[in-house]
Amino acid sequence: MLFLAAVAALLFLAAPAAFGQQSAPQKAQKKGRLPRSRRLDRGVTLQRDPATGELREVSVPLGSAGAPGAVSATETIRTRVSLVEVTCNVFASDGTPLRGLAREDFRLFEDGIPQAIAHFDASSEPASIALVLDASPSVFRELSAMKAAARTLAREISPRDEVAVVAFAGETRLLLPFSRDRALLERALASPALAQVANSRVSNIYQAVYLTARQLFRGRTGRKAIVLLTDGQDSGLGLGWDPASALPQPGERANQLTFEDVARELAADGVEVYAISTQTRPRALPDAWLAARRSEMLVTPAARDLGIPHYTLYLAELVRRAGGQIYFLREIGTLSEVYRRIAASLTAKYTLGYYPSTGLARPGWRALRVELAAPRDARLTHRLAYYVPAGQ
């Protein structure tokens, strides 16, 4: 009974709006004021479950009430409905999005087993888009271009779509929670908090993506995307040419975040990644090369022999695992044009939802395949798998 009372109290504190109150960010947005920025990496520590190998997020008391390193008794509780959503794009032979398709035009498979499509949407429901911006010195010089690109994105997407802004370097800071107020989007990019984040030469790219997916997208449905602007050179995970560097490690490093944890989180929440690299595209990394390897790990000795930087390959690997697209800013020319292309992709998506015929009891990765019901001269793209956390 004490445990139930504690959970009820926590739910009351965590969701004031449900009890006739509004949180400070909600009140600020209603008044047209930019909410105060918030660090996503503060007050949280991660522990790996030795039985499942998965990371769990536990709260760390802040201030004098909690000793350094002490972990509160309250863990984050994750709940998931059994509806699985898969977003996809269909392109005509000339590369333009193919619109006007209906539920009957698609076939959906999980682990090779046909699934009944229970929910269908042709980009009519609101999308949730998080701009995740690398504020380290090597990328922060693009700030003026970021502001112009944000205006382009706001103009191209639906007024019903919600946009959030996260900036990172050594820390990860939420500058704007999900909002439809486009004026707040511009204010977030002009916020002094952005310069505060930029005061670091550290660039924890994958930690920022992980925290954004875990803290901002949980419980959201429909089209979900992270638009990540970075040079790809991560400071936190220790990624190298050995693919084992992307996996959880034993011993003292067991509780550290890994690339695999990031991929699992994105796949569990159905969040696509549109990665924009500020680096020059390697000649050995054309779109055709990536398309031919959609079903295999990109970080290999063969790729190393081609002279492709491993940090660029990991960025492409994240896109391969989560779905989305990788762009190279210097190849396209302007950040505004990249954002325009991303907006065009997001506004031409089909969302297919289904209840797995085998249920959600078995944790781990599950393969996805989407096909067109009738032969067409068209190309279809979608994420290749989703992840079911243990115990969910």
210 and 279 in a single domain? The answer is yes
93 and 179 in a single domain? The answer is no
**pLDDT for 305-364, tens place per residue?**
999 999 999 999 999 999 999 999 889 888 899 999 999 999 999 999 999 988 765 789
Residue 196 has pLDDT above 80, yes or no: yes
354 and 371 in a single domain? The answer is yes
Residue 107 pairs with which residues in a beta bridge? 371
380 and 257 in a single domain? The answer is no
305 and 360 in a single domain? The answer is no
The domain tally of the chain equals 3
158 and 222 in a single domain? The answer is yes
Quote the tokens at residue 367: 């393969």
336 and 285 in a single domain? The answer is yes
Classify residue 300: in a domain, yes or no: yes
Classify residue 214: in a domain, yes or no: yes
297 torsion bin: left (phi>0), alpha (psi -120 to 50), beta (else): beta
- 55-64, 119-128, 372-381: segment of lowest average pLDDT: 55-64
243 and 378 in a single domain? The answer is no
The Cβ of residue 200 has, within 10 Å, a number of other Cβ atoms equal to 16
**Domain end marker among 313, 331, 346:** 346
How buried is residue 243: exposed, middle or buried, by Cβ count under 10 Å (0-12/13-18/19+)? Answer: middle
Classify residue 63: in a domain, yes or no: no
297 and 364 in a single domain? The answer is no
Residue 16 has pLDDT above 60, yes or no: no
DSSP assignments along 26-85, one per residue: HHHHHTTPPPPPEETTSSEEEEE-TTT--EEEEE---GGGS-TT---SPBPP----S-EE
Mean pLDDT of the chain: 85
Classify residue 15: in a domain, yes or no: yes
**What is residue 251's predicted lDDT score, i.e. its pLDDT?**
85
Residue 198 has pLDDT above 50, yes or no: yes
Residue 107 has pLDDT above 60, yes or no: yes
Integer-rounded Cα radius of gyration of the chain = 21
**Whole-angstrom distance, CA of residue 178 vs CA of residue 161:** 9
Query: Residues of the chain with pLDDT > 90: what percent?
Result: 62
Domain that holds residue 373: 84-122+349-388
Classify residue 59: in a domain, yes or no: no
**Whole-angstrom distance, CA of residue 40 vs CA of residue 55:** 17
186 and 298 in a single domain? The answer is yes
Classify residue 7: in a domain, yes or no: yes
Contacts of 242 (CB under 8 A, 6+ apart): none
**pLDDT for 242-255, tens place per residue?**
999 999 988 888 99
Classify residue 334: in a domain, yes or no: yes
Classify residue 67: in a domain, yes or no: no
Consecutive H or E run containing 344:
helix 335-346
Contact 36, 24 (CB under 8 A): yes
**pLDDT for 258-309, tens place per residue?**
999 999 999 999 999 999 999 999 999 999 999 999 999 999 999 999 999 9
For the entire predicted model, the pTM comes to 0.85
245 and 359 in a single domain? The answer is no
276 and 326 in a single domain? The answer is yes
